Structure formats: structure tokens, C-alpha cells
Amino acid sequence: MPENILRVENISKRFAGHTALNNVSLTFPKGKIFGILGPNGAGKTTLIRIINQIIAPDEGKLYFQDQLLSPSHISSIGYLPEERGLYKKMKVGEQVLYLARLKGLSLSDAKQKSRQWFARFEMEHWWNKKIEELSKGMQQKVQFIATVLHEPELLIFDEPFSGFDPVNAEQIKQEILRLKADGATIIFSTHRMESVEELCDQIALIHQSRKVLDGSVRAIKKEYRTGEYECRIAGDLSTIRTALDKDATILNIHKEQDETIMTIRADDGISSNKILYALIQHAEVHYFSEKTPSMHDIFIQQVTQEKHE
């Protein structure tokens, strides 16, 4: 079994007057959730359309499970685009069956599977309703079902949670995690990095048509760790200051009633345990946490760095 489900090699795409993708290479590991992050207009949707064979790259190659990507792979991919809609006048059931059959499912398979999904979302009674009779949230659920019904190995969601209310978003999130547990590979594409950060195993940052960073979330965060900690303590301030002095710098300090809130940065080579030990000796520790940079912060840092280079 190949470890990677999809490999993108040196993809470039130009439209009249601008370059949408510039020599982008990515590897998508099987069974993981992969986030393609970047601001609007960075080239994410172009990349996803190329993966879905909606448009062809000017240069570069794509491999699906080590085979050159071809129309025969369409049935192995499920795609929920950012610009998503349904035929308003069509009945919900018919619509889902139609989309599933276009992905290569037989009518009876499509019927059976859609019944299961409708039962799971408790929406059996929608079957004969017209799409235009449904609320926006309901329509989104229908779209979600249509995307996953043919049980594709690779699922691609472009801005998946935009337009969902928090309750539905949570439900969809759980379903996506369940699909991952069942072995599917998932690609998210979003400009709202915080919305998928916690779900992703691996990410790639796209900025101005180029890939600026990629790797596992854990590795990236480790690489970008700042050695800053936030702590809330109660105790004598001056003794704490002297205790910390040789190991760390206090960046920020203020008092809230009888509690002191501090942001400190450990000196190079000083472990969190050592700092915690120093604190415990002189004060009561209520809260101690490493300040990890958010993807957003990392992105900003990376982009500004590039500018200076």
C-alpha cells in the first residue's frame, strides 16, 4: 500500500495576466487530514481544481496512488467546493442519487447508501422535498452527503465550515473525523486558519501562488516555538523575580487582585521544568502553559521573513 495518496509535482498555472500557482510541490500522506492554508487569492482553489481535474496545470504532474492522475480517479475523489450549490427545483433524494451516479455508483448502491446517510442525519423526511424548500444549513448537509456518498478515498473540502451554524459545523466536524478513522484522506482548504488548525495532521501554507511552508503540524509548531510561557501565580513578586533572573526574562507582568499574571521567555537551553521548579519554590502556581504560536502567527512570521530576504 503506498504511503502517499496524492503527489503534486512542480505545478504551475498561469491565467491571463497573473500566475495562480508557481512551481508548487506537495505530498499528501494517506489517512491524514491535510490543511492547505493561505489568504484569499493565494492559489488554493486553483490547486484544488487541478487536483479535481477541473482545470489542467500548465506545467507539472500529479500522481494519485503513484499513478498519473487521470479521469479514472474521479470516482475516488469527493469534492465539496467553496462555491457550492444544488439544483433548486430538484428533489433532495433525486439530487443526491444523480450526483452519486455521476461519480460512478449504480442506482441501487446509491439508493442504499443515501438512505443510510439520511438516517444518520435524521433527514429521511426530506427525501421528496425540493431543494428550494430547505434552509441553507439543511442544503449544506445535503451537499456534504453528496460529497461523501460514493465513499471516496480522498475527500477535498474547500472552506468547509463557512456558512454552517456552530451546531452543524460541529456535527460535520465529527463526521469528517469518523471518515478519517475509516481510512479516508482529507484535504481542507481555508483562509480561516484557526478553524481547521486543531483538526489537521499536516499543513501547507500557500502565499502569492507559492508554497511557503509545509510539514506536520507538530513539527512546524516545534520549529516555531518561542520558548515563551504564560503563568498565573500567587506569591512575593521580588523573590520570584530574583529566582527567575538567571533562567528567563519577564516580558510582561501585571496583577489581577491577588494573582500575578506573567509572560516569560526562557533563556536558550533552559527547559520548562527548570522554570517551573524555580516558581514552585517561591510561589503557588495556578497556571503554567507554553505559548505555542498559532498557524496564523507562523504564517505572518514566515511571510514577513520572506519579504526581508
Partner 1 sequence: MNKIWLVIQREYLTRVRKRSFIIMTILGPILIALVYGALIFIAVSEEEKEHVVMVVDTSPVKLSEGLKDFNRRRPNSKLRFEWKYDDYFQARDSIFNETYSSILFIPRDPVAHPKGMYLAFKDRPSMSIKNALETELEKLIEEQKLLHYNLSPDIFDSVRVKIDLFEKRIRESQHGLQEEADYAEQKFFVAFGAGMMIYIFILLYGIQVLRGVMEEKSNRIVEVMVSSVKPFQLMMGKIIGIAMVGLTQFLIWVIFSGIVVSIIGMAFAPSLLEQVEAGTLQTQAEIGGLDVSTMLNIFNVTDFSIMIGLFIFYFIGGYLLYSSLFAAVGSAIDNESDSQQFMMPVTLPLIFSIAIAQFVLKSPDGMIAKICSFIPLTSPIVMMVRIPFGVAIWEIILSAFLLVLGFVFTTWVAGRIYRIGMLMYGKKITYRELWKWLFYKG
Residues interacting with partner 1, by CB under 8 A? 15-16, 49, 52-58, 71, 74, 77, 79-81, 83-90, 98-99, 101-103, 143, 146
Q: Decide whether 102 or 119 has the Cβ nearer to partner 1.
A: 102
Q: Decide whether 16 or 181 has the Cβ nearer to partner 1.
A: 16
| Smallest distance, partner 1 to C-beta of residue 261, A | 47
Q: How many whole angstroms separate alpha carbon 300 and alpha carbon 198?
A: 18
Q: Which residues are 206's β-sheet partners?
A: 211
| Smallest distance, partner 1 to C-beta of residue 61, A | 14
Q: Decide whether 83 or 122 has the Cβ nearer to partner 1.
A: 83
CA 238, 242, 244, 245: dihedral to nearest 10 degrees?
Answer: 130
Q: Please, are residues 288 and 294 in contact by the beta-carbon 8 Å criterion? A: no
Angle, CA of 168, 172 and 178, to the nearest 5°:
145
| Smallest distance, partner 1 to C-beta of residue 253, A | 50
| Smallest distance, partner 1 to C-beta of residue 220, A | 30
| Smallest distance, partner 1 to C-beta of residue 152, A | 11
DSSP H or E segment with residue 249: strand 248-256
Q: Decide whether 140 or 260 has the Cβ nearer to partner 1.
A: 140
User: Would you give the DSSP letter of residue 91?
Assistant: B
| Smallest distance, partner 1 to C-beta of residue 90, A | 6
Q: Please, are residues 127 and 92 in contact by the beta-carbon 8 Å criterion? A: yes
Q: Please, are residues 4 and 67 in contact by the beta-carbon 8 Å criterion? A: no
Q: Decide whether 102 or 251 has the Cβ nearer to partner 1.
A: 102
Q: How many whole angstroms separate alpha carbon 150 and alpha carbon 260?
A: 56
Cell numbers found for residue 283: 510561589
Q: Decide whether 176 or 266 has the Cβ nearer to partner 1.
A: 176
Q: Strand pairing of 59-64 and 283-290?
A: unpaired
